[in-house]
Amino acid sequence: MKKVITGNQAVAYGVILSRVDVISAYPITPQTTIVEELSELTASGRMKTVFLKVESEHSAMAALIGASTGGVRCFTATSSHGLAYMHEMLHWASGARLPIVLVNVNRAIAPPWNIWSDQSDSLSQRDTGWVQLYCEHNQEVLDTVLQAYRIAESVKLPVMVVLDAYVLSHTSEPVEIPTAEEVDAFLPPYCPEYTIDTQEPMAFSTIATPDHFLEFRYKIQKAMEQVPEIAKKVNDEFRSRFNRGYGAIERYGKEEADILLMTSGTVTGTSRIVVEKLNRKGYDVCGLKIKRFRPFPVEEICKEIKGAKKVAIIDRNLSAGVGGIFAQELRASLYSREKRPQIFGFVSGLGGRDITPELIEEAIQYTVDHPQPEEEILWLGLKK
């Protein structure tokens, strides 16, 4: 059934269809409509779900850790400060290997107060051991929520699904909503490996000495290393059932080009138009959408580099002292590889400033004009 819905509503549909057992969330702009939709649905009895209206985001994640340990499917959504507040518990969720799905609406972190789109919040959590998946449009949002549970419950790691504030969260787009039966066929009930059982009592998250801690962390890394293969399998299955799918990365424009434009989130949508326009003008440029940030899709990217000499990558985030985070990850992952194109790291759009087609063109033009970037960080649209 096709409906014209906002990104937040798409999230809500994804959660309903995933038959989530426990939701625990705290309101924060611009996540609020997710929470409101889900409140309605759980209160009306349409979802047999417990909604814990906790008093903070930290408690939201803590409650889900409790619930997930109890062996049920869990969900929360947040943004910006809420995600930052949860930080301690994000570490805990992955350390405890709990397949929790969290939807984060990318929003800038204060001060100054700013409620608009910015990837710094989710990317600040990149070391917490969560899989991170970014979305370009509302259909992808809904679909990614469904896939997220499959991935999470396979590798036993929590998954963060990310969408832009307002541009997606509050913007309506047509979305094909699968039926419950279709989703049930794709997403079986959750079967935890360990759970709370008074007949076979055990203590979860017991203190471990240096003798064992390293190995537990090693296991998490190994789980992360399985994500590319599993995510691909899940997506292939999804595609076969629903006739649509999303790779860790997706190439658009020409098959091969001198310049690769890498983007994530809604910027990709704008970039598609720009690349097409520039191709028609004869620019040798193609586009690479990055869906999965963590684990960073190194293999997939290397395959797509082919003959490219330059990569222009646009970050809607800033790690002060470093620059764009996607750019940093890219540089790090290509360092040991054979093909190492020049990387032009553009930072733009922080705090919700529009990344217009003009700005993207400017970036590509800069890349065309310069053999290598003149600065580590290339500020796009900055008013000096």
Residues in the site for other proteins, rule: CB under 8 A?
21-22, 24, 48, 50, 52-56, 58-60, 62-72, 74, 88-89, 92, 95-97, 156, 193-194, 196-198, 200-209, 212, 215-216, 218-219
216 neighbors 93 (Cβ within 8 angstroms): no
CB of 148 to other proteins, least distance (A): 19
Output phi, psi for 266, to 5 deg: -70, -20
If the CB atoms of residues 113 and 218 are measured against other proteins, the closer one turns out to be 218
Q: What is the bridge-based pairing of β-strands 22-24 and 74-79?
A: parallel
Distance between CA 33 and CA 307 in Å, rounded?
45
Of 184 and 354, nearer to other proteins (C-beta) is 184
User: Whose Cβ is closer to other proteins: residue 71's or residue 341's?
Assistant: 71
Question: Measured from the CB atom, is 27 or 71 closer to other proteins?
Answer: 71
Q: How many whole angstroms separate alpha carbon 187 and alpha carbon 78?
A: 24
Cα separation of 242 and 180, whole Å? 13
By beta-carbon proximity to other proteins, the closer residue of 223 and 249 is 223
CA–CA separation, 103 and 180 (whole Å): 21
In this complex, which beta carbon is closest to other proteins, that of residue 72 or of residue 302? 72
- State in angstroms the smallest separation of the CB of 145 from other proteins: 20
Would you call the peptide bond into 192 cis, given omega within 30 degrees of 0 as the criterion? Answer: no
Structure tokens at 223: 């789980």
List the one residue out of 5, 67, 13, 7 whose CA is nearest residue 25: 67
Rounded distance, CA 289 to CA 300, Å? 11
Q: How far is the CB of 52 from other proteins (least distance, A)?
A: 5
Name the minimum Å distance from CB 83 to other proteins: 16
The CA distances from residue 11 to 6, 148, 228, 254, in Å, are 9, 12, 23, 32
- Kindly report the number of other CB atoms within 10 A of residue 60's CB atom: 26
For the bound state, the minimum distance from the C-beta of residue 161 to other proteins, rounded and expressed in Å, comes to 20
Helix axes 87-95, 57-69, angle to 10 degrees: 10
Minimal CA–CA distance to 101: which of 153, 148, 151?
148
Would you say 128 or 263 has its CB closer to other proteins? 128
Q: How big is the chain by its Cα radius of gyration, in Å?
A: 21
CB of 105 to other proteins, least distance (A): 22
The CB-of-53 to other proteins minimum distance in angstroms stands at 7
Shortest separation between residue 225's beta carbon and other proteins, angstroms: 13
Residue 205: CB minimum distance to other proteins, A: 4
* Whole-number Å distance between alpha carbons of 100 and 61: 9
**Which value, to the nearest 10 degrees, does the dihedral of the CA atoms of residues 362, 363, 368, 369 take?**
70
Q: Cβ closer to other proteins: 222 or 370?
A: 222
Neighbours of 104 (CB within 10 A): 26
ω into 189 cis (within 30 of 0): no
Q: CB-wise, 62 or 108, nearer to other proteins?
A: 62
- Residue with Cβ nearer other proteins (1 or 203): 203
In angstroms, what CA-CA distances link 103 with 85, 285, 310?
15, 32, 33
Rounded least distance, CB 339 to other proteins, Å: 33
